[in-house]
């Protein structure tokens, strides 16, 4: 679980930097940043699938819902310090969820193989 937590932490940091760049830079296109956001969404959707397969149904379902909310919220990000819409502010909910999930994964213990 800790390995998944480390990968999730890196994904969160990359997505935060991508969001910061998209919303504060005055460039006209952000192909790398949007690609990072897509890859992060794929990672967290895969993590949701892993949680479901490990019988952590609530965490898996909430992870899928958070990815869907993130896609919706960040579909039209404002550029160069333009104001956020209320939908964009909802994008903070998935970030908070995945920060918590990442902390949970990083703090996870290995299962004992002794019976």
Give pLDDT tens digits for 63-107: 999 999 999 888 878 777 778 788 888 888 999 999 999 999 999
pLDDT in tens, 6-27: 999 999 999 999 988 888 888 8
Residue 70, C-beta contacts closer than 8 angstroms, at least 6 positions apart: 41, 44, 91, 94, 95
- The answer to whether position 114 is within a domain reads no
Label residue 45 by pLDDT band (50, 70, 90): very high
Predicted confidence (pLDDT) at residue 36 exceeds the cutoff of 60: yes
Query: Are 4 and 105 contacting, i.e. CB atoms less than 8 angstroms apart?
Result: yes
What residues make up the domain containing 69? 2-107
| Total domains present in the chain | 1
**What are the percentages of helix, strand and coil residues in the chain, rounded to 5?**
75, 0, 25
Predicted confidence (pLDDT) at residue 58 exceeds the cutoff of 90: yes
Query: Are 94 and 66 contacting, i.e. CB atoms less than 8 angstroms apart?
Result: yes
- The answer to whether position 81 is within a domain reads yes
């Amino acid at each position: 679980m800790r390995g998944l937590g480390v990968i999730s932490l890196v994904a969160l940091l990359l997505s935060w930097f991508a969001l910061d760049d998209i919303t504060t830079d005055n460039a006209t296109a952000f192909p790398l940043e949007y690609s990072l956001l897509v890859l992060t969404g794929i990672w967290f959707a895969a993590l949701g699938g892993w949680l479901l397969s490990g019988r952590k149904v609530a965490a898996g379902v909430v992870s899928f819902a958070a990815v869907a909310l993130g896609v919706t919220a960040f579909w039209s990000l404002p550029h160069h310090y333009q104001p956020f819409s209320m939908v964009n502010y909802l994008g903070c909910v998935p970030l908070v969820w995945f920060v918590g999930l990442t902390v949970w994964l990083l703090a996870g213990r290995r299962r004992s193989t002794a019976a």
